[in-house]
Amino acid sequence: MEAATTSASALRAQIVATEQELSKLKEQLAKIEEKETSVNEIPVEPVTSKWPLSQEEYTRYGRQMIVPSIGIQGQLRLKNAKVLIIGAGGLGCPAAAYLAGAGVGTLGIVDGDTVELSNLHRQILHTTARVGMKKVDSAISYLSSLNPNPTYTPHPTHLTPSNAPSILAPYDVVLDCTDNPASRYLISDTCVLLRKPLVSASALRTEGQLIVLNHPALPAGNELGGPCYRCVFPKPPPVESVVSCGDGGVLGPVVGVMGVLQAAEAVRLICGGGLGGSGVEGRKEGNRLLIFGQNGEPQFRSLKMRGRRKGCFACSGEGGLGLESLSSGSLDYVLFCGLSAPVNILHDDERILPRDYDEVKKKGGEHLLVDVREKVQFDICSIEGSINVPFSRIQRGEGLGDGLGEDERPVYVVCRLGNDSQVVVRKLKDAGLERVVGDIRGGLRAWRKEVDASWPEY
Amino acid sequence: MARDVFCDINAAPEAMQSLSGATSSFFPQYSPTNLNNSSGPDNITQIARYGIRGEHFDSGGVHASGGLEMLFSDERKHKLSVPPRDNQGKAVTVGWLVDYLCEEVMKDSRKEMFVLDGHVRPGILVLINDADWELEGESSYALQPNDNILFVSTLHGG
């Protein structure tokens, strides 16, 4: 068995290595081919042809080129455009696929993460065989096989204030496909400083939001420019209100829709020809925020948003944001948005290790295990005999519910990771419920490690 | 299932401002009446309806989305009836509505997830008839009949 596991993992490693090698080879080939073409095609009029595109390109892009809003001019603009996609996740994957397919000339992808199994339901460029591979490499491997024409530039790193300006500088349009407020502020600030229009989207559960920012990308201080992220959200949300896809969940098609919409907006910006920040296009349509909710009524709502904010820290020209302050690291975006410290509000004697709780359970001592995960998670898997009182219910002040509040049995509380359970223990104790012993340290994740290896980790 | 929490506000005409019996602690001059909701789409939760001299008026609706509905018993859509004037005789504003939602509608104890330091917390957009409330005078905007108020919590996932 062990030998089988070892050889399987060796094979997996070999597959990853081979995939990486393959993507490198493809990239080299693409570069050589590009050089060949550029040698043959300088200037835009190819020496060998009187047409600006190759026959392969006319065929490949024909279906979109005959759309009146694209045309040959739009296609050539796409070919000359450089688009940066920040985040090769649920938004970035579909966005990149459509932009590559559409024939954007240069596509840069920024991501410092590696592919995980839990990404695959929505991050459509990655594959099961590429789990463990860098996301940028996995993405480019897919994109090159989709369309070898564009130049793909991998940026296998997380965006930071010091590297953001140099990474963004060569591009014409930026897509924010990230998943946290700190990077959203950083990207928006950098786009304002470098005068790049920004297509920003986000998604969670069954909802998504899309907004085009800093378009037209006029210099800071020009109030005809499009608003930036700070104009719309001058202050970051409290850390405890920020829910990640890992905690809140997300539906693949929902985040996919938002990524596809980002690609559509980018194509519109590029083909519209207003990228130089000439100023008109953005104003005509006004500033809009599109919200999508699968269960919404209506499912799509286009909301009218404000323009640039007077005194905005980033785009008013008087807020104090500058390239130097950005690159020098004097702006700490993570600090600005707050750090989510692990909850630590219980005393040691109010916390029990999973293995110690298991002993309590095995000894058959009368007790009650309250699982405070939301019902949808409790339904996936639960410890035998535990009862479900969702965290949200306790927050509504409804206590442990009928029949449970009156009984004398000691109460243990458990949740997924051991944070909410602490909050609940404190709350119940403060409410005078003395039979509450404490929580299970580390939650069900620790339970899996210490006690039950079969516990489904979702 | 959860839906957008939106507020359609259908404010009463000014003529209705005289008061009747006091039962609500929050607006003692209005007495809630138990009227059947005969209008409006499905899935609208009737939160409150106030009768004045035997008359009543509907609100359009209040919607919350972007996870905000969790603070409102997982209901995204709330239909409200609001008085034309607050208890100081001033026109009822969006600011009033925010307080009302916080005090009367929201069951969750985490009030700071909706209102922080006396303001709608950072990260929540307020839309009046699908326009950013900053374009409409923010909290001082006086509610009009059939106004539609939307609270959107920004999403960050991707």
The residue segments making up the domain with residue B111 are: 6-153
Q: Are residues A413 and A321 in the same domain?
A: no
Q: Is residue B158 part of a domain?
A: no
Q: Are residues A321 and A434 in the same domain?
A: no
**Does residue A271 have an active-site annotation?**
no
Binding positions of A: 90, 111, 118-122, 135, 179-180, 228, 231, 312, 315
Q: Are residues A374 and A298 in the same domain?
A: no
Is B67 in contact with A397 (Cβ distance < 8 A)? no
Domain boundary among A309, A337, A365: A337
Q: Are residues A141 and A218 in the same domain?
A: yes
Q: Is residue A456 part of a domain?
A: no
Q: Which of A29-43, A267-281, A388-402 has the highest mean pLDDT?
A: A388-402
What is the C-alpha to C-alpha distance for residues B66 and B68, in angstroms, rounded to an integer?
Answer: 6
Q: Are residues A275 and A373 in the same domain?
A: no
Calculate what percentage of chain A has a pLDDT beyond 90. 72
Q: What is the pLDDT of residues B106-128, one digit of tens each?
A: 888 888 889 998 899 999 999 99
Q: Is residue A61 part of a domain?
A: no
Is B2 in contact with A295 (Cβ distance < 8 A)? yes
Closest-CA distance, B51 to chain A, in angstroms, reads 28
Kindly tell me if the per-residue pLDDT of A400 is higher than 90: no
Q: ω into residue A161 within 30 of 0, thus cis?
A: no
Catalytic pick among A93, A177, A245, A337: A245
Q: Does B116 touch chain A (CB under 8 A)?
A: yes
Cβ atoms A407, A429 nearer than 8 A: no
pLDDT band of residue A404 (cuts 50, 70, 90) is low
> What CATH number is associated with residue A89?
3.40.50.720
Closest-CA distance, B12 to chain A, in angstroms, reads 25
Q: Is residue B102 part of a domain?
A: yes
Q: Does B157 touch chain A (CB under 8 A)?
A: yes
Q: Is residue B81 part of a domain?
A: yes
Which residues, 6 or more positions from B10, have their beta carbon under 8 angstroms from its beta carbon?
B57, B58, B59, B60, B81, B82, B145, B146, B147
Q: Are residues A281 and A416 in the same domain?
A: no
Q: Is residue A43 part of a domain?
A: no
Q: Are residues A177 and A299 in the same domain?
A: yes
Q: What is the pLDDT of residues B30-55, one digit of tens each?
A: 333 333 333 333 222 223 222 222 22
> What CATH number is associated with residue B93?
3.10.20.30
The residue segments making up the domain with residue A109 are: 81-337
Q: Are residues A254 and A155 in the same domain?
A: yes
Q: Does B135 touch chain A (CB under 8 A)?
A: yes
Residues in chain B within 8 Å Cβ distance of A307: none
Q: Are residues A371 and A322 in the same domain?
A: no
A346 residue type, one letter: L
Which residues, 6 or more positions from B43, have their beta carbon under 8 angstroms from its beta carbon?
A297, B3, B76, B77
- Best CA proximity match to B77, nearest among B50, B101, B93: B101
Q: Is residue B1 part of a domain?
A: no
Domain boundary among A337, A359, A392: A337
Q: Is residue B21 part of a domain?
A: yes
Q: For chain A, what is the mean pLDDT? A: 90
Q: Are residues A245 and A390 in the same domain?
A: no
pLDDT recorded at residue B8:
43
Is B123 in contact with A233 (Cβ distance < 8 A)? yes
**Does residue A415 have an active-site annotation?**
yes
Q: For chain B, what is the mean pLDDT? A: 67
Kindly tell me if the per-residue pLDDT of A439 is higher than 90: yes
Is B65 in contact with A234 (Cβ distance < 8 A)? no
Closest-CA distance, B52 to chain A, in angstroms, reads 31
Q: Does B19 touch chain A (CB under 8 A)?
A: no
pLDDT recorded at residue B49:
28
Is B110 in contact with A395 (Cβ distance < 8 A)? yes
Q: ω into residue A216 within 30 of 0, thus cis?
A: yes
**Predicted complex: ipTM over 0.90:** no
Kindly tell me if the per-residue pLDDT of A403 is higher than 60: no
Q: Residue A109 class from Cβ within 10 Å (0-12 exposed, 13-18 middle, 19+ buried)?
A: buried
Q: Is residue A371 part of a domain?
A: yes
Is A303 in contact with B156 (Cβ distance < 8 A)? no
For range A78-88, the mean pLDDT: 98
Closest-CA distance, B142 to chain A, in angstroms, reads 19
Is A306 in contact with B134 (Cβ distance < 8 A)? yes
The DSSP string of B96-150 is HHHHHIIIII---S-GGGTEETTEEPTTEEEEETTEEGGGTTGGGPBP-TTEEEE
> What CATH number is associated with residue A424?
3.40.250.10
Kindly tell me if the per-residue pLDDT of A401 is higher than 90: no
Domain boundary among A291, A314, A337: A337
Q: Is residue B57 part of a domain?
A: yes
Q: Is residue A46 part of a domain?
A: no
Q: Is residue B43 part of a domain?
A: yes
* Total number of domains constituting chain B: 1
pLDDT recorded at residue B93:
92
Q: Does B156 touch chain A (CB under 8 A)?
A: yes
Q: Is residue A237 part of a domain?
A: yes
What is the C-alpha to C-alpha distance for residues A92 and A84, in angstroms, rounded to an integer?
Answer: 10
Q: Are residues A120 and A176 in the same domain?
A: yes
- Best CA proximity match to A255, nearest among A177, A180, A186: A177
**Residue in A241, A294, A423 to test binding to B, most B beta-carbons within 10 Å:** A241
Cβ atoms A358, A451 nearer than 8 A: yes
Residues in chain B within 8 Å Cβ distance of A238: 112-113, 116, 121-123
What residue has token string 């899309």? A210
Q: Is residue A139 part of a domain?
A: yes
Cβ atoms B136, B128 nearer than 8 A: yes
A-B C-beta contacts closer than 8 Å: 131
Q: Are residues A126 and A217 in the same domain?
A: yes
Q: Is residue A208 part of a domain?
A: yes
* Total number of domains constituting chain A: 2
pLDDT recorded at residue A32:
73
pLDDT recorded at residue A407:
76
pLDDT band of residue B76 (cuts 50, 70, 90) is confident
